[in-house]
Every structure is written in C-alpha cells, then in structure tokens.
C-alpha cells in the first residue's frame, strides 16, 4: 500500500511525521530543563548525530574515502554553526513559551531571504522582500515588550536562526563538493568535539532516568532527521516546502497540555505572520532552478 502512493504523498507523510517527532523531542528536552544542562543536552544531540552520520557513510562503502570531505574547512565552519545554533535553540526553550521558541526557529528563512542578495549574489524580487518584511513584523509582535518570556530568550531564538543561515549557505556550497552523508558525519564530528569538553566540565552527569530521557530525545532527533531526508528523497521539494511548518501546529497544543502555556492573541498573530511568510519563502526557494542554487 505504501509503494502504491505517489512520491509526493509519501514525502508529505514522512516530513509531517518528522515535524511531530521533532516537536516531541524538544518537549522532552524542555521537560528536562531542571535535570540536564544545555551543554549536556547539546552533547547528547551531537553524539547521536555522529553515530547517525557514521552509519550513513558506512552504507556508502568505500571506507575512509567516503568519510573525508573535499572541503574540510567549510565542513568545520558548517559543524561549528550547527553547534552554536543547537545550543542557542535549546536554551531559548528554557526561557520562552514552547510555541514561541518553536516559531522563532523558522525565522531562518527570513534571514536567508534578507541576506541572499548580498551573500549569494541572488536576485531578491519584491515578493520575497514583502514576505521577509511581513515575517519580521511578526517577530516584533512576538517579541513586544509586554510579551511573555524574556528579551534574552528572543535573542537566543533569533541567534539560533541566524546561525541557521550559515548552515543554509554552507550547505549550498558543500552540495557541489561533498555528499550529504559526508556532511552529516562531519556535523557529528565537529559538534561532538565541541560539546564533550563543556559537558564533562559540568562535573555531574544526569541520573539514570534523565539519561534515558536524553537518549530517547537524541534518538527522536535522529529519527526526525532521517524522516526529512527520506521525505525529500521521494517527494518534490516544491510540494514539501510548507510541510515542516506543521511543527507550529503541533507546538501549540503540546505546549498547552505539557506546560500549561497558551500564547495570547498578539503572539498568535505574530506566529502566524512568521509561519506564513517563512513558508512562502521556503516554497519560493524550492522552486528556484537547480542551476541557480
């Protein structure tokens, strides 16, 4: 029955499942805020990435040749950007509402659109600029002075998204040189090396139950990543571009049930503007000619 479905429908199902899985992952990590530090959480996520990347590269065959990148310097930059982005992302969930922190993560698309003309020498038309301005208006609504949360939390969320821009631009350059599997491995290598020291410096490892929850969250993060990769492998990017934004649909009820958080009307309006504009930009990006990427 699964194989009888169209590639796009299978892709939508897989990416929608990834959105739910990744939302549950962050909910678990939010629940562990009092039990595990951001350093330990980021290390757990990094180590899971390392194992997943190693398995992907091993599946290619070819031994170390498949693991060694053609652009190691850029791989290190890309991995370092992931490390900082993850740490800021996990920290933002400690001080912001669950749905708000999830929404701010999607502002990466806004920053990419705003910087594409300068950094990548791309033509940014009026439609992309309009969507970007609308999205940042949504950020102002979410981050208004009387909103719940903290200015530092919003800054962390936006900072995570900004480092996400580095990831997007480096992915474009690496896509012309290295296989996705190789990049996945090197993200794991760089982030694990960058987090093992701070995690050890904590001096006290989590209890067994907390470690089990951390392992589950890390496994869900890896599963979510695999679902996304597989979804975009079988489906067209233009058809799947808006699907990851289902995370916002999942984040509101999960935040309400698990943490008794429900955004107010203005915050909902800001979230809607960010989600809509980012989805439009993602859809426009997915439809650009491959040669232009």
pLDDT digits (tens, 9 = 90+) for 33-59: 889 999 999 999 999 999 999 999 999
Contacts of 121 (CB under 8 A, 6+ apart): none
Residue 137 lies in a domain: yes
8 A C-beta contact, residue 101 and residue 92: yes
User: What pLDDT was estimated at residue 8?
Assistant: 84
> What pLDDT is recorded for position 293?
35
| Start-to-end C-alpha separation, the chain | 35
Q: Which class for 264: exposed (0-12), middle (13-18), buried (19 or more C-beta within 10 A)?
A: exposed
Q: What is the DSSP letter of 215?
A: H
Q: pTM, whole model, 2 decimals?
A: 0.86
Position 145 confidence tier, pLDDT thresholds 50, 70, 90:
low
What was the pLDDT predicted at 122? 63
Let me know how long the chain is. 293
82 within domain boundaries: yes
Q: Residues 6 or more apart from 41 whose CB is under 8 A from it?
A: 29, 32, 90, 214, 217
pLDDT: is 234 or 78 the higher one?
78
Nearest-angstrom CA–CA distance, 38 and 94: 9
Using DSSP, state whether 24 is helix, strand or coil: helix
Average pLDDT, whole number, for the chain? 86
Domain for residue 2, yes or no?
Answer: no
> Which residues are CB-contacts of 128 (< 8 A; sequence separation ≥ 6)?
113, 116, 281, 284
Q: Which domain, by its residues, includes 25?
A: 7-292
Q: Tell me what pLDDT residue 212 has.
A: 95
**Domain count within the chain:** 1
Q: What is the DSSP letter of 125?
A: -
Residue 274 resides in a domain: yes
Is residue 231 in some structural domain? yes
């Amino acid at each position: 029955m699964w194989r009888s479905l169209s590639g796009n429908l299978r892709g939508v199902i897989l990416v929608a499942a990834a959105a739910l899985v990744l939302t549950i992952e962050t909910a678990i990590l939010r629940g562990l805020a009092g039990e595990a530090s951001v350093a330990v959480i980021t290390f757990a996520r990094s180590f899971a990435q390392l194992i997943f990347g190693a398995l992907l590269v091993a599946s290619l065959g070819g031994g170390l040749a498949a693991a060694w990148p053609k652009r190691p310097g850029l791989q290190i930059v890309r991995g370092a950007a992931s490390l900082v982005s993850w740490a800021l992302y996990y920290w933002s969930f400690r001080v912001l509402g669950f749905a708000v922190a999830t929404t701010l993560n999607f502002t990466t698309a806004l920053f990419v659109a705003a910087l594409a003309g300068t950094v990548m020498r791309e033509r940014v038309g009026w439609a992309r600029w309009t969507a970007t301005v609308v999205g940042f208006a949504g950020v102002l609504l979410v981050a208004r002075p009387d909103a719940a949360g903290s200015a530092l939390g919003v800054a962390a969320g936006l900072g995570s998204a900004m480092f996400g821009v580095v990831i997007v631009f480096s992915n474009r350059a690496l896509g012309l040189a290295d296989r996705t599997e190789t990049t996945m491995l090197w993200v794991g290598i760089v982030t694990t090396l960058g987090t093992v020291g701070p995690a050890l410096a904590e001096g006290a490892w989590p209890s067994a139950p907390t470690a089990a929850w951390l392992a589950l969250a890390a496994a869900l993060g890896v599963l979510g990543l695999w679902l996304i990769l597989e979804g975009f492998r079988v489906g067209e990017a233009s058809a799947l571009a808006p699907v990851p934004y289902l995370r916002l649909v999942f984040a509101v009820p999960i935040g309400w049930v698990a943490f008794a958080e429900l955004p107010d009307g203005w915050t909902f309006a800001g979230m809607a503007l960010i989600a809509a504009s980012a989805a439009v930009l993602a859809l426009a990006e997915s439809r650009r000619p491959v040669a232009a990427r």
